């Protein structure tokens, strides 16, 4: 960590070092700006701190999860569903799960790397079906930055020329594994589109980084920098410019404003000493993750901005969405007693099933994609839990061991990831009474799914059950009922929360303009998922990265023109 002088005024202060903040710091330092990057979490070096290639027996806990590592002890993320001293609250009846990372690089250290462009339809959904709102920009407005993101970071995939699944600049994709081939055959028989997956993992040398060696452990980080994390790909080149001041363990409290109504810096808590500090900057870029950014804006109250900063529209915290999700898994008898075979590959799926249907024949709007899991990864703690669900599985001693061998790799699962329509009942606000350990008021979440989402998830359940049946398999769990919400995951739990400071042309109904610049404060920008007007049936991070680069290029241009 570099020390910073309080009297320094930086060109830009970026808050948060994940996907959005890392890209902003990278683009702005390359463009010549002196940037202070505030990160609430600790330093993290994937090479030194990651657990790649550790065996379960390297730990007495065998890699089992902990409160700080809910996805397993070797997972490359510090943070989780609950962070000590940093609570959030929920309105009565709300079920919302909020995953937060607290480390350099944020959630990009362990994310799934499914890297999808939003398609042309995803930017103007209201014009197509009358629901939600259109974005003030089109796919063509973002395309050049998607291309640049592909070139900078590297991504594998295949050109498919599908209408709402734009192709990118791809490295060759890895071949499907055995269970993925079986799933492909069954899904295609039912009319489901199946293509190679698109993950930000390099399969040939790229910008000085080595290609993937197929250890299959991407969630631990990557010591060879073959997959994308902000920590591996964006922060080091920004540091090399000599223009980045990286300040970790720095919990931003609020954006400060001058008498002229412009942002003049960020106040933060130095977590190591517990002291309050301030960074002065001519421009502020918030990228603390969608909900944290809404929280920062709402907590940045002053006599000029009594309802929070950039909130003259009253929409900060509103139009919050997450991806819909549900899973089904089953046992595939034809995969029992499989001879050992090569399942090496990336830490993620090798196939992808994009949305393939026409909504005019369905009882829900929008769509979902399908992710597939299964196979014979390195066994870890809790491995093959529920062996009694297999025919004649379970028991004790030698026969139990035998069952593990026979059934290992004989199950497959499908996860649906769909588009939620923003609604008035899904939002966050400041809890009037609760503060975190730093005295910062916390968020209170409100959440209600509508029939749009319930019907969509019911369709996912039915589809996945049909694919498993087509594979000759047996599903492990009964079809969830309407009262069980058809198995819909809690809001927030798919970890694709977006919105809370949406973009728009109209300053009375949106927070930022088409360049992610606050309508009310021209030197304040947002570079995470908060400006998203809508979800898509795609994971959001590739769009966060492309928009952050686009916003940062706009800032650089405006600085050059003397407008900022």
Query: How many residues lie near ligand SF4 (CB under 6 A)?
Result: 15
Q: Which is nearer to ligand SF4, 218 or 351 (CB)?
A: 218
According to the binding rule CB under 6 A, does residue 155 interact with ligand SF4? no
Task: Tell me which of ligand SF4, ligand FAD, none is bound by residue 19, counting a contact when its beta carbon lies within the kind-specific cut-off of 5 to 8 angstroms.
Answer: ligand FAD
Exposed e or buried b per residue across 167-206, where buried means at least 16 C-beta atoms within 10 angstroms of its C-beta: ebebbebbebbbbbebbbebbeeeebbbbbbbbbbbbeeb
**Please, what is the minimum distance in Å from the beta carbon of residue 404 to ligand SF4?**
25
249 forms part of the interface with ligand FAD (CB under 6 A): no
257 vs 410 by CB, closer to ligand FAD: 257
Q: Which two tokens stand for residue 500?
A: 């809370």
The entry of ligand SF4, ligand FAD, none that residue 244 binds, CB within 5 to 8 Å by partner kind: none
CA distance 207 to 216: 22
- Interface with ligand FAD (CB under 6 A), residue from 180, 292, 322, 453: 292
Q: Which of 36, 142, 192, 201 binds ligand SF4 (CB under 6 A)?
A: 201
Query: Which does residue 217 bind out of ligand SF4, ligand FAD, none, counting CB within 5 to 8 angstroms by kind?
Result: ligand SF4
The only residue of 63, 330, 529, 531 in contact with ligand FAD, by rule CB under 6 A: 529
Interface region with ligand FAD, contact rule CB under 6 A, candidates 125-133, 245-253, 311-319, 398-406: 245-253
Residues 6+ positions from 324 with CB-CB distance below 8 Å: 368, 416, 417, 418, 419, 420, 449, 453, 456, 457, 460, 488, 489, 494
Query: What is the Cα–Cα distance from 299 to 297, expressed in whole angstroms?
Result: 5
Query: Looking at residue 194, what DSSP letter applies?
Result: -
Provide, for the chain, the percentages of residues in helix, strand and coil under a 3-state DSSP scheme, each rounded to the nearest 5: 25, 20, 55
| Residue 444 DSSP SS3 | strand
Which member of 329, 539, 551, 552 binds ligand FAD (CB under 6 A)?
Answer: 539
User: Looking at residue 494, what DSSP letter applies?
Assistant: T
Task: Write the binding mask 336 to 365 for ligand SF4: x where contact by CB under 6 A, - elsewhere.
Answer: ----------xx------------------
Residue 361 CB, nearest approach to ligand FAD (Å): 29
Least distance CB 162 / ligand FAD (angstroms)? 18
3-state SS of 86-119? CCCEECCCCCECCCEECECCHHHHCCCCECCCCC
Quote the crossing angle between the two packed helices 139-153 and 541-560, to the nearest 10°: 100
Considering only residues 19 to 58 of the shown chain, the ones binding ligand FAD according to CB under 6 A are: 19-21, 38-41
Burial of 392 (0-12, 13-18, 19+ CB in 10 A): exposed
Closest CA to 96 of 420, 283, 321, 249: 321
46: nearest Cα among 206, 241, 224: 224
Q: Give the separation between CA 550 and CA 477, rounded to whole angstroms.
A: 45
Pick one of ligand FAD, ligand SF4, none as the site partner of residue 322 (Cβ within 5 to 8 A by kind): none
Q: Assess 146 for contact with ligand FAD (CB under 6 A).
A: no
Residue numbers of the site for ligand FAD (CB under 6 A)?
15-21, 38-41, 99, 101-102, 106-108, 110-114, 250-252, 287-289, 292, 296, 495-496, 528-529, 539-541, 544
Residue numbers of the site for ligand SF4 (CB under 6 A)?
52, 201, 212-218, 222, 224, 226-227, 346-347
């Amino acid at each position: 960590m570099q020390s910073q002088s309080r009297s320094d005024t930086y060109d830009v202060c970026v808050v948060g070092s994940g996907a959005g903040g890392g890209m902003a710091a990278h683009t702005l330092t390359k463009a010549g700006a002196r940037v202070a990057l505030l990160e609430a979490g600790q330093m993290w070096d994937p090479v030194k701190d990651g657990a790649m290639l550790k065996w379960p027996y390297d730990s007495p806990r065998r890699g089992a999860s902990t409160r700080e590592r809910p996805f397993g002890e070797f997972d490359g993320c510090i943070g989780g569903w609950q962070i000590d001293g940093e609570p959030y609250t929920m309105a009565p009846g709300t079920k919302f799960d909020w995953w937060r990372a607290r480390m350099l690089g944020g959630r990009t250290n362990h994310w799934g790397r499914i890297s999808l462009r939003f398609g042309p339809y995803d930017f103007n959904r209201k014009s197509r079906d009358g629901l939600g709102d259109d974005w003030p920009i089109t796919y063509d407005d973002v395309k050049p930055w998607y291309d640049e993101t592909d070139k900078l970071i590297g991504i594998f995939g295949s050109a498919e020329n599908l209408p709402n699944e734009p192709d990118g600049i791809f490295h060759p994709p890895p071949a499907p594994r055995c269970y993925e081939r079986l799933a492909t055959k069954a899904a295609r028989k039912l009319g489901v589109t199946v293509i190679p997956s698109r993950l930000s993992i390099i399969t040939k040398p790229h910008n000085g980084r080595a290609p993937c060696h197929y250890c299959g452990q991407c969630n631990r980080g990557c010591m060879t920098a073959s997959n994308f994390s902000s920590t591996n790909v964006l922060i080091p080149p920004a540091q090399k410019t000599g223009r980045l001041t990286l300040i970790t363990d720095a919990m931003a409290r609020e954006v400060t404003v001058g008498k002229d109504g412009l942002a003049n810096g960020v106040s933060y808590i130095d977590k190591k000493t517990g002291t309050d500090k301030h960074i002065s900057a001519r421009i502020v870029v918030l990228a603390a993750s969608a909900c944290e950014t809404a929280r920062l804006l709402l907590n940045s109250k002053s006599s000029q901005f009594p309802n929070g900063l950039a909130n003259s529209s009253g929409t900060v915290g509103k139009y919050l969405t997450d991806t819909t999700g549900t899973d089904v898994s089953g046992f595939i008898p034809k995969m029992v007693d499989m001879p050992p075979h090569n399942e090496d590959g990336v830490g993620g799926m090798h196939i992808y099933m994009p949305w393939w249907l026409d909504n005019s024949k369905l009882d829900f709007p929008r769509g979902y994609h399908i992710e597939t899991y299964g196979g014979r990864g390195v066994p870890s703690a809790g491995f093959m839990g529920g062996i009694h669900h297999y025919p004649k599985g379970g028991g004790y001693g030698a026969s139990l061991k035998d069952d593990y061998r026979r059934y290992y790799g004989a199950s497959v699962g499908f996860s649906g990831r769909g588009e939620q329509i923003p609604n008035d009942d899904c939002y966050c606000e400041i809890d009037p009474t609760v503060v975190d350990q730093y005295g910062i008021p916390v968020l209170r979440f409100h959440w209600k799914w509508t029939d749009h989402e319930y019907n969509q998830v019911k369709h996912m359940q039915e589809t996945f059950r049909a694919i498993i049946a087509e594979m000759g398999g047996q599903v492990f769990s009964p079809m969830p009922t309407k009262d069980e919400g058809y198995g819909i995951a809690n809001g927030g739990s798919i970890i694709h929360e977006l919105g809370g400071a949406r973009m728009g042309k109209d300053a009375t109904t949106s927070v930022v303009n088409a360049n992610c610049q606050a309508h009310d404060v021209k030197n304040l920008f947002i570079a995470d998922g908060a400006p998203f007007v809508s979800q898509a049936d795609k994971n959001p991070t590739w769009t966060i990265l492309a928009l952050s680069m686009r916003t940062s290029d706009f800032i650089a241009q405006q600085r050059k023109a003397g407008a900022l």
